[in-house]
Structure 1
């Protein structure tokens, strides 16, 4: 059994500001090559004064697929948002373990299956076309504000059945929820922001019961009325769907444009993949290469071992997707963008995008929808022969959870 000491020359990976300069892939390469795990001290946000960094693909998969040993109950991200394990967020699906998690997830899973989402293609393409039509009228604009923000917000709002006149509110509220995740207040602001949106979605659910529609809020409201879930679970699950449905796609669409505007090799490879009918593999590779959600957290339920490392009960483990998706044991030549890569080694049930949507019981329920949005956008950009160029510097956000781009000034040539 290996015990790895702290490394003094590793940057503070608990500080969101560390990520403003970019994802520290070189640091992750060093950590991944070490035996055991590396311990990062932390002054707040954990239960035992720090956290273990889990950077190898197989170790990340093992943690995520074993909720009996590694619980989500205290929080799914760092800083822990439910540190007592029994706070208001205990009713949110991302902070539940089976069997409670399984019961709540079933309430909406039928509405996110591949067959159902496949029927979304026509109207999602309309959303993408409308968004590009509006944005491309100008030669210069901020891609994040005009494209990356609008496509997923319009899509998830329609999936939830949010009326047109409330969709701007939903987008703004979602962004505020993400900002509150990094605050050192034991999750208080996060809870407050979630409950505000939850109250709105509760009222929307009441309206859907009177006038049912083919949308997620109707499904959840009916599950609430039938007693399958209770009111806090309804509110917090609806908020979770909103957050997950917006941010992963929003972040990916921003980075896709940045890569297309700055890397001629990726631009050429992407066009070739689309022309050769490899759109699915291309989307998976963009997701792996970008890894929009960089890491999640779990708490050890007992003394155990992972990756040869002794772990104590209540220790926090940060499972680092950004590191796992650059693990050469899982992806040959992991730092190269290659949608034609042969025989990657994704964990069971994660799909070709690798560790992007998670694994085990908390695997993202909306992963098929996210991939559909990205594929349609790539197809429409190719069909229009859009060429993006940078008109300034991309601006990164300060977040240890989301691989955030907050601004992307671009110029556009069409045809």
Structure 2
């Protein structure tokens, strides 16, 4: 039996076989604003596990700052935090509002929907190539390939450079995982990716083309534009977030369909369910597990007093299984609608700018798989990333049987 005394939802080792859902269930019922131990903060931190409390924190940046200590779970020194603040995910309004307005031009629902035919064609090519192989690592062959292609198309990245983007992105996301290079590899990847982005931005300023990078580095109708540092920071954010979370969602979705074969049969019978299936996959997988905020002033969440300066951790993994919000949350239901999951954040100023793009990619990939594959069999272990922040399967050997 799980007791409050035995719970530590900040121990990343407990996520290697999947999230500790039983612990989250206990916390939501008994201590939804839980004082969790923290090896990096002697006084510990507050772990939020209920959907409503996380939405409240996400939508009140005047009370809970992303900028003071950053939005990542782990602690950094002030020099590192100052560097991170160039990235809008680690900013508060009004600075965040200015940058988001400028970068949003390339990611509106209308702009993303125009990509549908191109993404659908890429999905068909990727799946057809996989069918020819029969047996392969699904993460690298399918789940990683689609977001790589899409981000490269959006950013005008040459095909020859795509593998660099993949390796840099994986290193940055795996900064707490010694098996993927750890902090040193992360620092090197950030430096290398920043240099690449600087050159790409300079090229587009000299020779504008019809791509997202040109929009990013060009003035808007009021003459406002990103600085070089702001563009480089956004390039890293977009490529890492766009690659990692979509890759984890696709791999996690295949795992979910293997666990719930009735839902796979349902999708094959009606590929039109791919849109709601994409949202359910994100809820089920919760590719971004958690975000961090720092209390700006003494306040209260869920009846618990939180003091100025306190570290607050919002567990999206738990919120997406909240019984007060989702009917039968432990069931994978590809027709779930409405589906107010927090897989892209809890709303507010930091709601994921790439949400529409990610959902479209997941939708079209699973629609294509349902139409072209009779079944996908997982044939070996599926190790996960050791990470506070991301819930990612890093390898998935499969056998795919054509329809």
Q: Same fold (TM over 0.5)?
A: yes
Task: Tell whether the 8 Å contact from 2:217 to 2:226 is kept in structure 1 after alignment.
Answer: no
**Distance in 1 of aligned mates of 2:282 and 2:268:** 16
Give the match for residue 342 of structure 2. 355
Q: Using a 3 Å threshold, how does the CA distance of structure 1 residues 220 and 342 change in structure 2: closer, same or farther?
A: closer
Give the match for residue 17 of structure 2. 21
Give the match for residue 351 of structure 1. none
Task: Tell whether the 8 Å contact from 2:277 to 2:334 is kept in structure 1 after alignment.
Answer: yes
Task: Tell whether the 8 Å contact from 2:373 to 2:400 is kept in structure 1 after alignment.
Answer: no
**Distance in 2 of aligned mates of 1:36 and 1:388:** 38
Deviation at 1:92, TM superposition (A): 1.0
**Distance in 1 of aligned mates of 2:325 and 2:192:** 41
Q: 2:200 aligns with which of 199, 204, 213?
A: 204
Task: Tell whether the 8 Å contact from 2:274 to 2:364 is kept in structure 1 after alignment.
Answer: no
> Is 1:297 aligned with 2:292?
yes
Q: Secondary structure of the equivalent of 1:333? A: coil
What does residue range 126-137 of structure 1 map to in structure 2 within 5 Å? 126-137=121-132
Q: What CA deviation, in whole Å up to 9, does each residue of 1:206-257 have, x standing for no partner?
A: 1112221222211122249x55332221211111111111111100011112
Give the match for residue 166 of structure 1. 161
**Distance in 2 of aligned mates of 1:246 and 1:13:** 26
Task: Tell whether the 8 Å contact from 2:248 to 2:391 is kept in structure 1 after alignment.
Answer: yes
> Is 1:260 aligned with 2:267?
no
Give the match for residue 3 of structure 1. none
Structural RMSD (CA): 2.2
Deviation at 1:310, TM superposition (A): 0.8
**Distance in 1 of aligned mates of 2:79 and 2:306:** 20
Q: What CA deviation, in whole Å up to 9, does each residue of 1:31-68 have, x standing for no partner?
A: 00014511112121x4x632111000000100000001
**Distance in 2 of aligned mates of 1:393 and 1:181:** 21
Q: Please, what TM-score do these two structures have when normalized by structure 1?
A: 0.89
Q: 1:375 aligns with which of 342, 349, 363?
A: 363
Q: Using a 3 Å threshold, how does the CA distance of structure 1 residues 181 and 222 change in structure 2: closer, same or farther?
A: farther
What does residue range 3-82 of structure 1 map to in structure 2 within 5 Å? 7-10=4-7, 12-44=8-40, 46=41, 49-73=43-67, 74-81=69-76
Deviation at 1:271, TM superposition (A): 2.9
Q: Using a 3 Å threshold, how does the CA distance of structure 1 residues 162 and 181 change in structure 2: closer, same or farther?
A: farther
Q: Using a 3 Å threshold, how does the CA distance of structure 1 residues 92 and 150 change in structure 2: closer, same or farther?
A: same
Q: 1:244 aligns with which of 237, 241, 244?
A: 241
Unaligned runs of 5+ in 1: 1-5, 347-353
Give the match for residue 91 of structure 2. 96
Q: Please, what TM-score do these two structures have when normalized by structure 2?
A: 0.92
**Distance in 2 of aligned mates of 1:122 and 1:87:** 41
**Distance in 2 of aligned mates of 1:132 and 1:63:** 40
Deviation at 1:258, TM superposition (A): 1.7
Q: 2:378 aligns with which of 390, 394, 412?
A: 390
**Distance in 2 of aligned mates of 1:101 and 1:154:** 28
Q: Using a 3 Å threshold, how does the CA distance of structure 1 residues 404 and 270 change in structure 2: closer, same or farther?
A: same
Q: 2:268 aligns with which of 266, 271, 282?
A: 271
Task: Tell whether the 8 Å contact from 1:262 to 1:390 is kept in structure 2 after alignment.
Answer: no
Deviation at 1:191, TM superposition (A): 5.3
**Distance in 1 of aligned mates of 2:280 and 2:270:** 11
Deviation at 1:340, TM superposition (A): 3.1
**Distance in 2 of aligned mates of 1:189 and 1:392:** 28
**Distance in 1 of aligned mates of 2:378 and 2:36:** 36
**Distance in 1 of aligned mates of 2:135 and 2:235:** 36
Task: Tell whether the 8 Å contact from 1:202 to 1:235 is kept in structure 2 after alignment.
Answer: yes
What does residue range 109-188 of structure 1 map to in structure 2 within 5 Å? 109-180=104-175
Task: Tell whether the 8 Å contact from 1:88 to 1:191 is kept in structure 2 after alignment.
Answer: no
Q: Secondary structure of the equivalent of 1:338? A: coil
Q: Secondary structure of the equivalent of 2:314? A: strand
**Distance in 2 of aligned mates of 1:153 and 1:137:** 21
- Runs (4 or more) in structure 1 with deviation over 6 Å come to none
Task: Tell whether the 8 Å contact from 1:78 to 1:297 is kept in structure 2 after alignment.
Answer: yes
Unaligned runs of 5+ in 2: none
**Distance in 2 of aligned mates of 1:227 and 1:343:** 38
**Distance in 1 of aligned mates of 2:212 and 2:193:** 15
Could you tell which deviates more after superposition, 305-314 or 278-287? 278-287
Could you tell which deviates more after superposition, 187-196 or 111-120? 187-196
Q: Secondary structure of the equivalent of 1:396? A: coil
Task: Tell whether the 8 Å contact from 1:93 to 1:101 is kept in structure 2 after alignment.
Answer: yes
Task: Tell whether the 8 Å contact from 1:75 to 1:82 is kept in structure 2 after alignment.
Answer: no
